[in-house]
Amino acid sequence: MDRKDHADIASGRLSAQQLAQNFDDVAPPLDRQNALIAAQRCYYCYDAPCIQACPTGIDIPSFIRRITTDNLRGAAQDILGANVLGGMCARVCPTEILCEGSCVRNTGESEPVQIGALQRYATDWVFDSNTALFERAAATGKRVAVVGAGPAGLSCAHALARAGHDVVIFDAKPRPGGLNEYGIAEYKVLDFAAREIDWLLSLGGIRWEGARTLGDDLHLSELRRDYDAVFLGLGLTGVNALGIEGEALAGVRNAVDFIADLRQCPDLSKLPVGRRVVVIGGGNTAIDAAVQSKKLGAESVTLVYRRGSASMSATWAEQEFAKTQGVSVIEWAQPRRILGDGAVAGIEFEYTQLDDSGRLLGSGDYFTLAADSVLKAIGQTLIAPRANGDGSAVIEIRNGRIAVNAEFETSVRGVWAGGDCVGGKVDLTVQSVEDGKRAARAMHARLSGNGTAEN
Amino acid sequence: MADLRNNFVGVRSPNPFWLASAPPTDKAYNVIRAFEAGWGGVVWKTLGLDPHVVNVSSRYGAVQWNGQRIAGLNNIELITDRPLKVNLDEIRQVKRDWPDRAMIVSLMVPCDEQSWKTILPMVEDTGCDAVELNFGCPHGMSERGMGSAVGQVPEYVEQVARWVKQHSRLPCIVKLTPNITDIRHSARAAYRGGADAVSLINTINSIVSVDLDLMAPTPTVDGKGTHGGYCGPAVKPIAMNMVAEIARDPETPNLPISAIGGIGTWRDAAEFMALGAGNVQVCTAAMHYGFRIVDDMIAGLANWMDQKGYRTLEDFRGLAVPNVTDWKYLNLNYDIKARIDQDKCIKCGLCHIACEDTAHQAILKEKDGKRHFEVVDSECVGCNLCMHVCPVDNCITMQRVDNGSYANWTTHPNNPARVKETA
């Protein structure tokens, strides 16, 4: 291929008007009329399967019934009492595999109650009216450090502040929110992440300290010394590399960085995007990167995944959505070489197949896709917190994640952890919120002197 | 093909669907549209003596239930607020133009013989087919000694019916108010007075809702409300019971009944006629959806009659009356148990919680650690509650499990007043 120093990566491929349209709310909110119609479809199941399917156990039939009686405050209390990031979860949860996937209306009717949209309807009311739903208990005088301002950290901090403890949240990023702020597709979130955090912090008792990085200007030993308890909601900030030739060429990026740039970009017409984009991976990050590339005006976007669609961690609904947005999907192909001289020009793939024992093998058939931009989305990894100071505090890592007990306490007494960095059942916002909530419960018990996990 | 022609106290109409005396039959314009749509007849909105009444602005209140608009409707509108002559002229013209349709004129005048003597000849002169005496409206007019104020006193009902029969050759239908303790007394009074038929029910006294901001009942007229007449789908069960009570009352044998109350479909009509009604009158459903609903009422009733092999309306009229009985004659040996079709069950748990909390703890919610709903026959009394709460049609059915024997309360050992069986 011809040498070129700059791949065709440019901004302003679409008019500002077209961009605004492309990045508008992908699922516009229900108005009252439509919310009532949707809510009235709920059978108010007893011991409902949707509650069981929600990692945070929101009493869904209850909040939906409250919507039907115009008791929106009560509906929001149901939701945010169980999941303080219920507003975000209403937007980003893969409801098709959680609450809505378990709705009894799927049986015989195939159309579940729109639980996600209804949850957004009830919680939007809170944020739009800036209503305070929670009060802090009497001050305990205890101080807690939360490292990581993503869903797990925010959930933990809010619960502890409610319980009367004083919380400081540290995060390496300049703005709080974690993946809600930096890692989720714009069209799902718009400006909601920041509004939600403003509301959450308005409870009081939570101090925000951004641009503080653990192991850099923030040390676990100091936190343990200066605070009564520590929670780590570090997320997965490392990114897997492809480990193939050409990965360093200009135009090859991590999808998470592309998404973070997009989310922080005040003017999308200034944001560069490749003319021909190839995204590698099969998770939600891959989908979000692919769809947003298309929405920014990429001529072609191809998502390539090394296995079949059933193995993708992106749900079927996400996959379907990507296809409707003009993303081409190629399954059963793995990248072998990134081609180019200076800048990326193409990428060579080998088709894959499973052998009899289910192992993924190259088939020996190759093909090349021309590309101006390659976005890698093949998974994130834990950057383990470094032990320092007195050296006694070495946090145990197991299977690449922070090891915790049933109460989310790490191997270091007084240090809890939750969210993606501990790797629970699923890497979902809603699971991180639940982790933070449960950890807070254990931390509060310890801080109140009636802890159960004495050792 | 089913023959829907109706003959009610000698008044003929192409079908048994009349519009009740109400706003839809207030003037020629509406009535002509109704006839064009296919209605068999109308009962013209109640006429009174001049000077005509006046009405208020804000007249209807409605009950919405779970997204359904107008599950029940109430109104505080009075009788016609147009001059008597205008109405009479229009009635005459419309009857002339639509001779095959039933034209009944509803009347409400003060409870004295002279008033009736005055208005009846004028009405008769229009060429109408019959009169209906409005003894039912529970609001407004009742404060002036008319409407339900008459209908609630059987002696008045009888007296006025007698006057009307005396001063007019027209068939006389007495419209009964449900705002009484036992409808049979009103019907018997009409019967004694010589009425040719009764029609029921008029509206039920009601307050449909309270505006919690205004702290006033609806419909609200400048901050105040008043009780109004309730009608629509919600009142149908009440109306059907009253129709059945009259139909099986030996003191009013073969008294023709024009049924009114929540009728909106051919099925509603068929149910009322099975309970003995000679025809039906409709209002709320037409006010909700327009006159076009008669289309399906006609086609649906005809199709159902064809399917059942009923050639005329008389073939099925009253067939359910012998099966309306007193509780004491119900078979105490009859035993049914709920059956849950596991293939249809969507596992909502509503049958379980209804039975567990409010009935007989006869539905289990779990089997082998899994969500599964099953009836415990030994606890099930066959009450049907689970069947009614189940959102899936025919998922829960009731199966008869007794041996077919019969025994009722009249001879039951627990009945202190039991009839001793002869040894």
State the amino acid at position B295 in one-letter form: D
Give me the residues of B, 315-344, that contact A with CB < 8 A.
344
Task: Work out whether the CA dihedral B214, B218, B219, B223 comes out positive or negative.
Answer: negative
B346/A107 touch (CB, cutoff 8 Å), yes or no: yes
Asked if A131 is an interface residue toward chain B (Cβ–Cβ < 8 A), one would say no
Q: Which residue of A32, A42, A47 is the best one to mutate when testing the B interface, meaning the one whose CB has the most B CBs within 10 A?
A: A47
CB atoms within 10 A of CB A214: 20
Nearest to A40 among B67, B347, B353 (CB): B67
Alpha helices for B74-206 (secondary structure H): 84-97, 113-124, 148-151, 154-167, 183-192
Across residues B336-350, what is the average pLDDT? 97
pLDDT tier, A392 (very low <50, low <70, confident <90, very high otherwise):
low
Six-digit token string for A36: 């009532």
Residue B241 CB neighbours (<10 A): 16
End-to-end CA distance of chain A: 64
Q: Give the whole-angstrom CA distance, residue A85 versus residue A79.
A: 9
Closest approach of B359 to chain A, Cα-based (Å): 15
- pLDDT tier at A450, thresholds 50, 70, 90: low
Question: What are residue A214's DSSP bridge partners?
Answer: A218
Residue A5's pLDDT is: 53
b (16+ CB within 10 A) / e for A27-44 = eeebeeeebbebbbbbbb
Is residue B346 predicted with pLDDT exceeding 80? yes
Residue B422: pLDDT band by 50, 70, 90 thresholds? low
Domains of chain A: 3-23+239-379 (3.50.50.60), 32-129 (1.10.1060.10), 143-237+382-447 (3.50.50.60)
Instruction: Check CB contact of A47 with chain B, cutoff 8 Å.
Output: yes
Q: Which two tokens stand for residue A129?
A: 């009216």
Least CA distance to A42: which residue of chain B? B348
DSSP type of residue B222 = T
- Cβ A47–B365 below 8 Å, yes or no? yes
Closest partner residue to B346 among A36, A46, A104, by Cβ?
A104
pLDDT at residue A1 is higher than 80: no
Q: Which residue has the tokens 């305990």?
A: A140
Interchain proximity A45–B349, CB inside 8 Å: yes
**Residues B281, B43: Cα–Cα separation, whole Å:** 8
Q: CA of A164 to nearest chain B CA: how many angstroms apart?
A: 38
Please state the φ and ψ torsions of residue B270, each to the nearest 5 degrees: -60, -40
The token pair that represents A351 in the structure block = 């088709």
**Token pair for A358:** 């289910």
pLDDT average, residue stretch B201-221: 96
Residue B291 · residue B33 · CB < 8 Å: yes
Task: Count the Cβ atoms, other than its own, within 10 Å of residue B253.
Answer: 9
The complex scores an ipTM of: 0.88
Using CA of residue B284, residue B389, residue B331, residue B270, what is the dihedral sign? positive
Give the separation between CA A373 and CA B37, rounded to whole angstroms. 67
Mean pLDDT, range B218-224, rounded to an integer: 96
Q: Does A46 touch chain B (CB under 8 A)?
A: yes
A455 pLDDT above the threshold of 70: no
pLDDT tens-digit readout, A186-240: 889 888 999 999 999 999 999 999 999 998 899 998 999 999 999 999 999 999 9
Q: Active-site residue B128, yes or no?
A: no
Residue A451 scores a pLDDT above 50: no
Give pLDDT tens digits for B94-130.
999 999 999 999 999 999 999 999 999 999 999 999 9
Q: Is residue B423's pLDDT more than 70?
A: no
CA dist., res. A1 & res. B176, Å (int): 95
Whether omega before B257 lies within 30 degrees of 0, making that bond cis, reads: no
Instruction: In whole angstroms, give the CA distance from residue A371 to residue A347.
Output: 7
Q: Do B365 and A107 touch (CB under 8 A)?
A: no
Q: Kindly identify which residue of chain A lies nearest to residue B348, measuring between CA atoms.
A: A45
Is residue A287 within 8 A of residue A313, CB to CB? The reply is: no
A203 contacts A161 by C-beta, under 8 angstroms: yes
The residues with which A278 forms a beta bridge, in sequence order, are: A302, A374
- Chain B residues with CB under 8 Å of A68 CB are 66
Cα distances (Å, whole numbers) of residue A417 to A54, A162, A402, B72, B130: 21, 19, 7, 57, 86
> Is pLDDT at B245 greater than 60 in this prediction?
yes
| Residue B339: pLDDT band with limits 50, 70, 90 | very high
Q: Is the N-terminal amide bond of A112 cis, ω within 30° of 0?
A: no
Burial letters for A175-196: b for 16+ Cβ neighbours within 10 Å, e otherwise?
bbbbbbbbbbbbbebeebbebb
Q: Is the CB of B349 inside 8 Å of chain A's CB atoms?
A: yes
Round to whole Å and give the CA distance between A175 and A181: 8
pLDDT level of residue A390 (50, 70, 90 thresholds) = low
Mutation site for A-interface testing, chosen from B64, B66, B346, B373 by largest number of A Cβ within 10 Å: B346
Q: Identify which of A230, A67, A183 has the alpha carbon closest to the alpha carbon of residue A428.
A: A183
A107 touches chain B (CB under 8 A): yes
Cβ–Cβ gap B349/A40 under 8 Å: no
Do A45 and B352 make contact, defined as CB atoms within 8 angstroms? no
B364 in contact with A, Cβ within 8 Å: no
Is the model's pLDDT at A395 over the cut of 50? yes
φ/ψ (deg, to 5) at A72: -70, -35
Is the minimum CB–CB distance between B365 and chain A shorter than 8 Å? yes
CA separation for the pair B237, B235 (Å, rounded): 6
Alpha carbon distance B298, B17 (integer Å)? 8
Average pLDDT over residues B150-156: 94
Preferred mutation among B348, B350, B395 to probe A, highest tally of A CBs within 10 A: B348
* Cβ-based contacts of B344 with chain A (< 8 Å): 108
What is the amino acid identity at position A455?
Answer: N
pLDDT(A6) > 70: no
In chain A, which residue's Cα lies nearest the Cα of B366?
Answer: A47
> Which residue on chain B is closest to A104 by alpha carbon?
B346
Q: What is the mean pLDDT of chain A?
A: 93
Mean per-residue pLDDT over chain B, rounded: 96
The residue of chain A nearest to residue B342, with distances taken between CA atoms, is: A107
**CA B295, chain centre distance (Å):** 20
Backbone φ and ψ for A343, nearest 5 degrees, come out as -120, 155
pLDDT score for B192:
98
- pLDDT > 90 in chain B, percent: 94
The full length of chain B comes to 423
Checking if the pLDDT of B390 tops 70, the result is: yes
Query: How large is the average pLDDT for residues B284-306?
Result: 98
Inter-chain residue contact B350 with A45, CB threshold 8 Å: yes
Contact A68 B66 (CB under 8 A): yes
pLDDT in tens, B64-92: 998 899 999 999 999 999 999 999 999 99
Please provide residue B216's backbone torsions phi and psi, each rounded to the nearest 5 degrees. -150, 150
The pairing of strands A300-304 and A229-232 is: unpaired
Cα B227 to chain centroid, rounded? 20
Rounded to a whole number, what is the distance in Å from the CA of B352 to chain A's nearest CA? 8
B353 CA to chain A: closest CA distance, Å?
A: 6
Of the residues A34, A37, A46, A110, the best mutation for testing chain B's interface (the one with the most B CB atoms within 10 Å of its CB) is A46
pLDDT at B370 over 60: yes
CA dist list (Å): B105 to B20, B129, B263: 10, 8, 20
Task: Read off the pLDDT of residues A13-68 as tens digits, 9 standing for 90 and up.
Answer: 999 999 999 999 988 999 999 999 999 999 999 999 999 999 999 999 999 999 99
Pairing mode of beta strands B130-134, B216-218: unpaired
Instruction: Identify each DSSP E strand in B363-423 by its residue range.
Output: 363-367, 370-375, 396-400
Q: Do A107 and B347 touch (CB under 8 A)?
A: yes
Distance between CA B67 and CA A321 in Å, rounded? 31
Q: ∠ at Cα B110 (B105, B114), nearest 5°? A: 90
User: What span, in angstroms and rounded, lies between the C-alpha atoms of B244 and B273?
Assistant: 10
DSSP 3-state of A377: coil
Give the distance from residue A56's alpha carbon to the nearest chain B alpha carbon, in angstroms.
20
Q: What is the CB neighbour count within 10 angstroms for residue A88? A: 27
Supply the pLDDT for residue A454. 41
Which among A160, A154, A149 has a CA at the least distance from the CA of A229? A160
Digit-coded pLDDT (tens) for B316-338: 999 999 999 999 999 999 999 99
Query: Coil, strand, or helix at residue B68?
Result: strand
Residue A388, pLDDT score: 62
Distance CA(A282)–CA(B214), nearest Å, equals: 57
pLDDT value of residue A391: 57
Catalytic member of B128, B137, B172, B351: B137
Q: Hey, is the C-beta of B412 within 8 angstroms of any chain A C-beta?
A: no
